Structure 1
Amino acid sequence: MRWENLYVAGTGSALPSRIETAQDAVAAGRYTDRARAVSGYRAVRVAAEDEPGPVLAARAGRQALERSGLRPEDVGLVLHAYSGHQGRDVWSPASYVEHEVLGGGGAPAYEVRQGCNGGLSALELAASHLTARPGSKAALITSGDAFHLPYLDRWNTDEQMVYGDGGGAAVLSTGGGIARILATASVSDSSLEIMDRGLGPWTRAPFEGGRAVDLRARKRDYFEAAENDFAFEEVLARLQKGSSAAVDEALSDAGRDLASVRWCVHTTFPEPIAQSAVRGPLGFTREATPYDWLLEHGQLGAGDQLVGLHHLVETGAPEPGDLLLAYGVGAGHVWTVAVLEFTPELRP
C-alpha cells in the first residue's frame, strides 16, 4: 500500500539497565559456548520486577511523544504490540499504555499480537487508521516485552533465538515528521502457523503444568512427524516466497528499488538466519543496519524495528533523503515490510 502525507514524527525506546551477557549465561549453565558462537548474541537487557512490558512500552511512548512535538490530545489511536506475558492476566496492557502516555485522553487503545512482527503490524494498521479518518492527526504505536523464568527461558525457549527485554515506540503523524512512510506491505502464509503451535494437546490456561514455553520442541515435533523427507525444504521455500513477496510489493508501491535503499532494520534473528534470510537476499551489509548493536540487547519481542529505528535516529547515522527498509516476520506467518524516507526534519 502506498501512503500519502504520512510520517514518523518521533521515536522512543526503553531498555532496562541490567545487562546479562552470553558469557554470564554460559557460566550459569543456561547457555552453551557452541550456541553463543553460532547465534552471535552477546548480551541481553533484563527487566526488573517492576518493569513488565507495558511499563517499558509506556516509557518509550512518552519519549516518542516528546520527540514528535505533538500533544497527547493530538493522538487518536494507541496500538500496543507484544509477544509475551504483560505482567497481569486478563487485562488491557494497551489501555495502561494509553493512560500512562496520554493521561487517559480517550484515544482507543488496542493490542496487536503478531509475535516478532508486532511493531511493524501496528505501524501498518495505524497508517490505515490515519488514512481512513481524515480528521485524525496522529497515532501512537508501542512495543514492550520482558521475558522471565519460570514462564520463559530467554536463552533456550527458541531455536538459536535469545530474547531481551525492552520497549519501543513511534508516533505516526499526518502533519510531518523525521521520516515519510512511502509504502507498507504484508503477506501471510498461515500454513506455517503449526510450527509454533506444535502437535501437542491444547492447554486450558497459560503456564499449565508449570513448564516453561518450549518453541524448539514444537518445531522439532512438527518436522519429526512430517510425512516426507522434504518438509524442511518446503518450509524454507514458503519462507523465502513470503519474504520476497512482501519486500517486492512494498518497494513497488513506494516506486523505489533495493539499490536505492541505504538502511535496513529487521528482526534480530541469530546471525545465520539474519544473513541467509534477510541481509544476504536483500544485499545489505551489517553496517547498513543496527544489527551489531541489537546483538547486545537480544531479540526484543515485538519491538526490534521500533528500537532499531530509534537507535539509528539517535546516532545521527541517516541523512535526509536516505531510504530505510523495515523488515519483520512473526509467527503465523505474516511478513510486513515498510519503506521510509528520512526528511529534512531529521536535522532540525
Structure 2
Amino acid sequence: MEIKSEVYVRSVGSYLPPRASTQQAVDKGLYEADDLKLMGLTGTLVAGDTSPAHMATAAAATALERAGLGSAELDSLIHSSVFQPGPDGWSLPGYTLRELGGGKAGVIELRTGCSGMLSAMELAVGQLTGAQGHTSVLLTAADHMGPWLERWPSDVYLPGDAGSAMVLGTAGGFARIRAVNSGTVPRLEQMNRGDEPLHPPAPRGLVDLRARHASVTRHMEEREAAHLMAALNTELAERSIAEAGIKTADISRVVYHNMAGFIVEFFLSQVGLPMERSSWEFGRTVGHLGCSDQAVALEHLLLNGDLTPGDHVMLCGASAGFATVCVVLEILDVPSWPAPAPVPAAVVG
C-alpha cells in the first residue's frame, strides 16, 4: 500500500527495564555456552515485578511529551501485545488513556503477535487517511514474557520485556510513512498452536513454543518453513520499497526482530541487503521484545545518531498466523530529544 497522503511518525518512546547478561546466565548454568556462541545474543531485558501496563503507559507518556500532545488531543489509541497483559476482559489501552490524563479517544487492542506494532501502524494509517479523518493516533505496545516463556531457552531468541509507543499524525513529524504492506502464510498457522485443543483452551502457564513448532516440522522440513516465511517477507519488502519510490540500495537501515544473527542475516539476504544495515548489534543486547522490537530499535537509531534526513528505514516483523508486515519510513528530521537514562544491569538468577 503506497501512502499517497501525508502521514507522519511524530514521536517514539520506550520503557526499558534492567538488562540481564547472557554471559552471567552461562556462568550460572542457565544458558548454554555453545548457544551463546552460535546465536550471538549478549543480553535481554527483564521487567521483574513491573507490569505491561506500567511499561506501556511510561512509553506513551514519553512519546506524547516528545510530540507536544496531551491525551485529550488523541483521536485513537491502539495497543499491541503478544500475550494477555493483565486481567481477562480488561482494557489495557483504556487504562493507559486514563493514566495519561483521559480524553475521548477510541481504544483498540490488537493481539496479532510480534508484528503487532506494525499492524497497528497499518491500521492507524487507515484512520488518518480514511473516512474517520483522525489527526493524531497513539500506538502502544508492551510485553512481559516472564509468566509465559522460559527466559533462557536454547532457541533463536531470548525473550525480553519492554514497552514502546509511537505517535502518528497528519501535521508533520520526524519521519513520513511511505508504504505499508502485510500478508499471511496460513500453512504455518499451526506453528504457534501445536497440537493443543482449540476449546477449551489449556490452562495458563509457560508456553512451549519449540514443541508447537515441532508439530509443523513433522510434516514439512524446517528449511521449507523458513523459506515460506522469507518468501513472504521478501515479497512485502520489495513491494514496499517500490511503492516508496526507491530502490533496495536506498534502504539505509532495516529493523527486524531481535533474533540470532544468522536468522536476521538470512532474512536480509533474501531482500538483498547486508547485515551491516540491520539494527542487530543493538537488538542482540536487549532480547526479543515482543511487539516492541521495531519501535525500540527506531528510537535507538535516532538517539544514537545513526540516522540522517533523507535516510529510508524499513521495519519488518512477523507473527503467528504466519503474518508479516513491512513498513518503509523516510527520515525527514532527527529530533533533539534528551537521551534516556542508561539501562541498569539486572541480577541473573
Tell me the SS of whatever aligns to 1:61.
helix
Deviation at 1:215, TM superposition (A): 0.3
SS for the counterpart of 1:8 is: strand
| 1:187 maps to 2:183 | yes
Match of 1:32 in 2: 32
Contact 1:80–1:142 (CA<8 Å) still a contact in 2? yes
Whole-angstrom CA distance in 2 between matches of 1:10 and 1:173: 10
How do residues 311-322 of structure 1 correspond to structure 2 at under 5 angstroms? 311-322=300-311
- Contact in 2 for aligned 1:286/1:292 (Cα 8 Å): no
**1:192 aligned counterpart, secondary structure:** helix
Structure 2 residue 150 is matched with structure 1 residue 153: yes
- Letter of the 2:137 counterpart: A
Are the counterparts in 2 of residues 143 and 302 from structure 1 also a CA contact under 8 Å? yes
Equivalents in 1 of 2:217, 2:333: separation in Å?
50
Task: Give the 3 Å change call, closer, same or farther, for CA 287–205 of structure 1 in structure 2.
Answer: same
Matched, 1:327 2:324: no
Root mean square deviation, CA, Å: 2.0
Change beyond 3 A, Cα 1:92–1:270: same
Secondary structure, counterpart of 1:116 in structure 2 = coil
2:70 aligns to what?
Answer: 71
Is the 1:199–1:222 contact (alpha carbons within 8 Å) kept by the matching residues of 2?
no
2:55 maps to 56
Matches within 5 A, 1:192-207: 192-202=188-198, 204-205=200-201, 207=203
1:119 to 117, 120, 133: 117
Query: SS of the counterpart of 1:193?
Result: helix
Partners of 2:2 and 2:175 in 1: CA distance: 15
- Write the deviation string for residues 208-230 of structure 1: whole angstroms up to 9, x where unpaired: 4xx52100011123323x2xxx5
- Cα deviation for residue 71 of structure 1 reads 2.9
5+ unaligned residues in a row in structure 2: which ranges?
338-349
Assess, with a 3 A threshold, how the Cα gap between structure 1 residues 207 and 21 changes in structure 2: closer, same or farther.
farther
Alignment check: 8 A CA contact 1:250 1:339 kept: yes
Partner residue in 2 for 1:272: 262
Structure 1: distance between partners of 2:181 and 2:330 = 16
Deviations 1:39-95 (A, max 9, x none): 21111111131x221211111111111111223232111111111241323311121
- Number of the residue aligned with 1:243: 233
1:141 is matched with 139
- 234-243 or 186-195, which moves further after superposition? 234-243
Q: Percent identity?
A: 32
Q: In the alignment, what sits opposite 2:13?
A: 12
Distance 2:177 2:40 in 1: 31
Tell me the SS of whatever aligns to 1:29: coil
Secondary structure of 2:75's partner? strand
Structure 2 SS opposite 1:204: coil
SS at match of 1:115: coil
Checking the alignment, whether the CA contact within 8 Å between 1:267 and 1:304 is kept in structure 2 is yes
Gaps of 5+ in 1: none
Aligned residue for 1:306, secondary structure, equals helix
| Alpha-carbon distance in structure 1 between the residues aligned to 2:221 and 2:44 | 33
Shift of 1:347: 6.3
Q: Could you tell me how far 1:117 is from its partner in structure 2?
A: 0.6
Residues 259 and 283, structure 2, Cα contact 8 Å, conserved in 1: no
Q: 1:323 to 1:104 in 2, by over 3 A?
A: same
The CA deviation string for residues 176-210 of structure 1, in whole angstroms up to 9 with x for no partner, is 000001111111111211111112334635644xx
Q: Structure 1 residues 271, 324: closer, same or farther in 2, change over 3 A?
A: same
Deviation at 1:163, TM superposition (A): 0.8
Q: Which deviates the most, 103-112 or 26-35?
A: 26-35
- Offset, 1:24: 2.5
Shift of 1:344: 3.5
Contact 2:196–2:202 (Cα < 8 Å) also in 1 = no
* Worse-superposed segment, 198-207 or 159-168: 198-207
Contact residue 116 and residue 291 of structure 2 kept, 8 A: yes
Query: In structure 1, the residue corresponding to 2:146 is in which secondary structure?
Result: coil
Q: What residue is the counterpart of 2:87 in the other structure?
A: 88
Over residues 274-305 of structure 1, what are the superposed CA-to-partner deviations in whole Å (9 max), with x where a residue is unaligned?
A: 1112x222344444333211211100001100
Q: Distance in 2 between matches of 1:328 and 1:199?
A: 25
- Give the aligned length: 336
What amino acid sits opposite 1:23 in the alignment?
Answer: Q
Q: TM-score, normalised by structure 2?
A: 0.90
CA contact 2:115–2:319 (8 Å) conserved in 1: yes
